[in-house]
């Protein structure tokens, strides 16, 4: 208890009430931010297209309003001559993720900057100028071929990981989908071997 002539800042109840009010308020802010983040990062949300985006063209273009490069989703551009339904695209990309995990691509590569810095970041591999030389459908085939039998592009070679065709197709679908994710201006293609 405080004496009547003591300032309220001397009263522990003031600080206790302040701490409780701040904790409740910040918990609500945290919950709101978490819900918003989940909405933003869930496939089909504002920044992460749903998996069937693999049926569309995906390019990476400069947005003068945002002053950064952003993925642009265009019209239909099929890979492997097939239009994937939402379920098929989910399965294929789920498989691509398993192949990525089983072959430990991130021992050498990064996705969104996470992983090893031995080989180039793969977040925008689909829109890498090396592959952009080929129109969409051919690019998918070229990437499959590269993943199955890597040829040397820069100063370090990608090892042959004994990837089978079905696995390579799943990987390419995964890479195409990932290129469509809005990374909020996160730099792309850093660590490209040819640039060293």
Crossing angle for the helix pair 165-179 and 136-148, to the nearest 10 degrees: 130
> 138: Cβ–Cβ under 8 A, 6 or more apart, which residues?
none
Nearer to ligand HEC, 11 or 141 (CB): 141
Name which position in 128, 136, 173, 181 contacts ligand HEC (CB under 6 A): 128
Nearer to ligand HEC, 24 or 98 (CB): 98
Whole-number minimum distance, CB 45 to ligand HEC, in Å? Answer: 24
* Of residues 164, 133, 127, the one with CA closest to residue 148: 164
Whole-number minimum distance, CB 96 to ligand HEC, in Å? Answer: 8
Other CB atoms closer than 10 Å to residue 111's CB: what's the count? 17
Tell me: does residue 119 bind ligand HEC (CB under 6 A). Answer: yes
Residues 139-178 that bind ligand HEC (CB under 6 A): 147, 152-154, 156-159, 161, 171
Tell me: does residue 108 bind ligand HEC (CB under 6 A). Answer: yes
The CA-atom distances, in angstroms, between 124 and each of 21, 88, 147, 158, 188 are: 44, 22, 16, 17, 6
Residues 95 and 87: beta-carbon distance below 8 Å: no
Whole-number minimum distance, CB 15 to ligand HEC, in Å? Answer: 54
Binding residues vs ligand HEC (CB under 6 A): 99-100, 103-105, 107-109, 118-120, 122, 125, 128, 130-131, 147, 152-154, 156-159, 161, 171, 193-194
């Amino acid at each position: 208890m405080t004496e009547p002539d003591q300032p309220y800042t001397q009263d522990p109840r003031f600080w206790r009430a302040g701490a409780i009010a701040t904790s409740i308020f910040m918990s609500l802010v945290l919950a709101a931010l978490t819900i918003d983040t989940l909405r933003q990062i869930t496939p089909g949300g504002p920044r992460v297209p749903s998996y069937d985006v693999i049926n569309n063209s995906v390019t990476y273009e400069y947005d003068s309003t945002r002053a950064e490069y952003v993925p642009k989703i265009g019209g239909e551009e099929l890979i492997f001559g097939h239009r994937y339904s939402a379920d098929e695209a989910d399965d294929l990309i789920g498989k691509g993720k398993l192949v990525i995990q089983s072959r430990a691509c991130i021992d050498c590569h990064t996705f969104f900057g996470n992983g090893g810095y031995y080989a180039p970041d793969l977040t925008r591999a689909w829109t890498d100028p090396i592959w952009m030389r080929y129109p969409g459908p051919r690019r998918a085939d070229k990437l499959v071929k590269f993943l199955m039998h890597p040829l040397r592009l820069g100063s370090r070679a990608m090892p042959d990981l004994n990837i089978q065709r079905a696995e390579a197709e799943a990987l390419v679908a995964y890479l195409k989908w990932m290129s469509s994710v809005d990374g909020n201006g996160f730099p792309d293609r850093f660590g490209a071997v040819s640039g060293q």
